[in-house]
Amino acid sequence: MSDPNIRNRKIEHIRIVVEKDVDFPNECSEIYDEIILIHRAFPGIDLSDVDLSTRFLNYELSAPLMISGMTGGDPLTTKYNKKLAVLAEEFRIAIGVGSERSLIIHKDEAEIIRSYKVVREIAKDVPVVGNIGANTLLDLRNEDISYIISSIDADALAIHLNPAQEAIQPEGDTRFNARILERIEEILDHIGVPIIIKEVGNGLSYEDVSLFYSMGIRFFDIAGACGTNWILVEKYRQKDKITTTIADHLSSWGIPTPVAIIEARAAAPDSFIIASGGVYDGLRAIKNIVLGADLNGVARPLIREIYLRGLNAGKAFLEMMIKEMKIVSFLTGARNISELKKKPFILSSDMLSYLEQRGIDLREYKEIRGGI
């Protein structure tokens, strides 16, 4: 397995995500605006009563947040992973690393290894999640999988699905056939940590979650189509004019984050659902929890703040986000995550129509949205 461009690609991805407009149209503002939480003029609690702590992978987190896996695999990425790990440890939130394929290709290069290991070296007391592409599993031995887990002492392994990105990427690997399912079944028997099935920004459907749920997987990161659009990221790297035109046509392709939460929870009622994709503020994060998510993943806003303004800007972003989450929770009258999942919500007619056509009964859904 070789990929001569992988190191440059890691750097290009960061630069494009930070410098270019690669989000989905309006970042799903209309969809989120039409999800209404009920304001309580008399919340029945004090703001100081709100406690958003939660458990994930046997760790106690201060808030239902995770720094989604973004980077690693080139010495220049070490400084970003180091700062992200500092934030995860300081705020007691989970953190993931970017795809560890480079770790296998360059397993004899100390600087490459360190770009990943630095995360666990700093984030010692919070969950760390490894990361590998589903298609890459076809090229790896079980020993390789064990290595990418042990190298960062990962508490779980995210297996990411990114067919849309790969279809536009110049070096794209579009192998997403049934052999991957066989490999995942083998890996489930081989490793001692949970697998998280993860999209990268186009959303997980009911059908996808049902499939992997039937295999025994109970962790899903739905990564909906509201945040960073990797079709557009790869468009900026693509020199083929036909493919760049196709990328423009597909710029809205995917399942929006709020809808993907409902699809995933409906398919896997007792699973742990991570909502990522356009989670750019505390209000959205709380809406995701009320809809049925257990945790929120944040990526682009943090890497952008760190890249442009440094570590303190990343801290300020998280401080504001967590404070906003607490205030919104307070205004619904919810003391904690468990109470948030029981709070009423109103959906737009468009979302109701979508759910009806997908065969999801909203009344029945509200009974199961609490999850595990």
What domains does the chain contain, in order, with CATH numbers?
A: 6-368 (3.20.20.70)
Q: What pLDDT does 210 receive?
A: 98
* β-strands 295-298, 219-221 pairing: unpaired
Number of alpha carbons in the 13 Å side-chain half-sphere of residue 185: 8
Residue-by-residue pLDDT tens, the chain, 372 positions: 556 667 788 899 999 999 999 999 899 999 999 999 999 999 999 999 999 999 999 999 999 999 999 999 889 999 999 999 999 999 999 999 999 999 999 888 999 999 999 999 999 999 999 999 999 999 999 999 999 999 999 999 999 999 999 999 999 999 999 999 999 999 999 999 999 999 999 999 999 999 999 999 999 999 999 999 999 999 999 999 999 999 999 999 999 999 999 999 999 999 999 999 999 999 999 999 999 999 999 999 999 999 999 999 999 999 999 999 999 999 999 999 999 999 999 999 999 999 999 999 999 999 998 865
Give me the pLDDT at residue 369, please.
87
* pTM for this prediction: 0.97
Contact 70, 42 (CB under 8 A): no
Could you tell me if 35 and 99 are in contact, meaning their C-beta atoms sit under 8 angstroms apart? no
Q: Is 123 helix (H, G, I), strand (E, B) or coil?
A: coil
What phi and psi, each to the nearest 5 degrees, are found at residue 74? -150, 145
Mode of pairing for the β-strands spanning 345-346 and 94-96: unpaired
Q: What is the pLDDT of residues 218-233, one digit of tens each?
A: 999 999 999 999 999 9
Tens digits of residue pLDDT in 45-82: 999 999 999 999 999 999 999 999 999 988 999 999 99
Per DSSP, helices labelled H in the chain are: 6-19, 29-33, 78-91, 101-105, 110-122, 142-150, 163-168, 179-190, 206-214, 230-235, 241-249, 257-267, 282-291, 300-309, 311-332, 337-340, 349-357, 362-368
Q: Is the torsion defined by CA of 109, 111, 117, 121 positive or negative?
A: positive
What is the three-class DSSP state of 81?
Answer: helix
| Amino acid, res. 240 | D
76 forms beta bridges with none
